[in-house]
Amino acid sequence: MSKTTVTTNRWRTVDVVVAAVIAVTFGVIFWAWGLLWNVVTPAFAFLPATQAIMYGVWLIPAVLGGLVIRRPGAALFCETVAAVVSVLLGSEWGSITILQGLSQGIGAELAFAAFRYRSFRRPTALLAGALTGLGAAVFDFFVWNGEYALGSYRIPYALLTIASATAIAGVGAWSLTRALAKTGVLDRFPAGRERTTI
């Protein structure tokens, strides 16, 4: 069983520090991933919507933050701060990326809240990934992709975004949490103490 006994929702100093480390690290990754996204865009010219399979990387900190910190607001904090960092580094999409991060973080936050921040097993991580992807897909559907055709681009793009988020952010963050726990760096967190069961 991969459940934690959280006696309080109050954040500890270590929670804030680790959440900030996750967010800043992924903010840098976001910025670099944006550069790669643009470089490989021509490779998807045959069917542009399929580039959404790359999307999940931008959603990892929301799920990872929730799995590691296990406090209300952790998923939202990590995703939003990562978006802020990417903007400060010069994300070509500008400050609207912060609103995008908020919409994505809310998705994962809802998944953890649905289990009252008590379940952090793989199904929860998958749901968090899927809902983070849904938040991203809805935002992009109206903000970035509104000018594109509904059936040939916007809907396939949205579905692939959710699939990518489930696979990369959901499974990826869950696997990363397990890997970090085995190193001992998460020993001050329930995720670290559950290293053999998560």
Q: Tally the domains of the chain.
A: 1
Q: Quick: pLDDT tens for 142-194.
A: 999 999 999 999 999 999 999 999 999 999 999 999 999 999 999 999 998 87
22 Cα distance to chain centroid:
11
Q: Has residue 2 got a pLDDT over 50?
A: no
Q: Quick: pLDDT tens for 82-103.
A: 999 999 999 989 999 999 999 9
Burial class (CB in 10 A: 0-12, 13-18, 19+), 164: buried
Mean of the per-residue pLDDT values for the chain?
Answer: 94
Whether 8 is in a domain gets the answer: no
Whether 64 is in a domain gets the answer: yes
Domain ranges, residue 102 = 13-193
Whether 25 is in a domain gets the answer: yes
Whole-model pTM: value is 0.93
Percent of the chain with pLDDT over 70: 94
Report the CATH number that the domain containing residue 35 is assigned in CATH: 1.10.1760
Distance CA 116, CA 31 (A): 32
Q: Has residue 106 got a pLDDT over 60?
A: yes
CA dihedral 124, 61, 78, 16 (to 10 degrees): 80
Whether 76 is in a domain gets the answer: yes
Whether 1 is in a domain gets the answer: no
Whether 122 is in a domain gets the answer: yes
Whether 198 is in a domain gets the answer: no
Q: Mean pLDDT throughout 43-63?
A: 98
What is the reported pLDDT for 9?
87
Whether 37 is in a domain gets the answer: yes
Burial class (CB in 10 A: 0-12, 13-18, 19+), 53: middle
Q: Mean pLDDT throughout 13-36?
A: 97
Backbone φ and ψ of 157, nearest 5°: -60, -45
* Residue located via tokens 């109206």: 142
